[in-house]
Chains A and B, each alone.
Chain A
């Protein structure tokens, strides 16, 4: 499968990449690892006229401590997250979730920023970042703005990112010894989840239960009240609007959400 022809540019800085976005507007698309965008282009579901390759910008690839947070460059690869000693001790949910994405070849290429900007509701890392209450740093022609993960995802493959903006950094609160777990259900280990649940520090996020990744807020309230995992998980699917597809019916997805949240909560409080 061959993508529709496009122009390719590889700017040598974030500023130069932003200039390309400003110049080409909706004709341009940022390319990082390319493991979400290129498959769509090969299927001709996406046909940008200009690809702006930011996959090699060293200024976007880092994991470092900063006060109460760990800050991660948007160009950091899944494999970097998976093997980061800092994350393993300070934000253990994130390397665990990164390790469940695709397979080693995919994780060598895919980036955290790319996964978030893609806005797929069935995606692992957006679910983790939402559960972690992370803050996303966006850069555009008018400077930098920060957006809480809870406000970043606006619809099916849609985010608050403007056409001339770029996600440059993800700021994740250190969770240290707080309980956490990730429960992912799919047919094959390297697939997207049919449903997944991320739990950390009493917060709960779900993949593939709505047009965006979502928090299970009623479950979170129940946990805060001191409900046990079984009771709190009973309301995990309240307010969700899961799609029906070849993998699962709506009632089955709701069942999975309750089941996976109960398992994740049980693991997290251990």
Chain B
């Protein structure tokens, strides 16, 4: 079947098998390897991407279900603003929100999705909201700090934007 999916702002039209999972479409058809296949059972969240702005586990979505939608992956976050990192990526770097890095693309996208729904979360809300993303290095403290820092940076930017 034919699917038309806008990935990181670029429209793609591809012939796919109905059983192709979104994560395999992104990785194997488009060559976007940020979203990782971790558990392959919608438990670990390493494959988290945004589907029409909402976080989803792309190992449990068919590419066919994403037909006609807009998908965002970690690759699409940086470079849009003169090559600079997205505030969420910048915060993960500054707060050392990663150790081995395998969960990181999913964590970053979960964080971006969280702030889209709740721009100023409390620490508890961040901890509850990333319940679907596992870090086997157990580096949760810095991940939570990073998401809170990104929220602060974004609201700072928002205020600066209003002032200008």
Contact = CB atoms under 8 A, between A and B. Distances in A.
A189 interface: yes
B26 to A, nearest CB: 15
Contact of A4 (B19, B48, B55): B19
A35 B56 CA distance: 11
A53 B61 CA distance: 12
Interface stretch (B39-47, B88-96, B145-153): B39-47
B132 interface: yes
Interface stretch (A59-67, A100-108, A136-144, A252-260): A100-108
* Most A-side CB within 10 Å, residue of B17, B60, B64, B113: B60
B132 A105 contact: yes
Contacts, number: 75
Given A6-B19, A8-B1, A42-B40, A103 B64 contact: no
Contacts of B45: 103, 105
B56 A108 contact: yes
B60 A34 contact: yes
A211 B126 CA distance: 36
B1 A108 contact: no
A39 B61 contact: no
B11 interface: no
Contacts of B75: none
Nearest to B43: A190
Contact of B60 (A8, A38, A189, A190): A38
A31 B113 CA distance: 24
Contact of B42 (A3, A31, A39, A53): A39
Contact of B19 (A2, A102, A109, A190): A2
Interface of B: 1, 17-19, 21, 40-43, 45, 48, 51, 54-57, 60-62, 64-65, 67, 110, 113-114, 128-129, 131-133
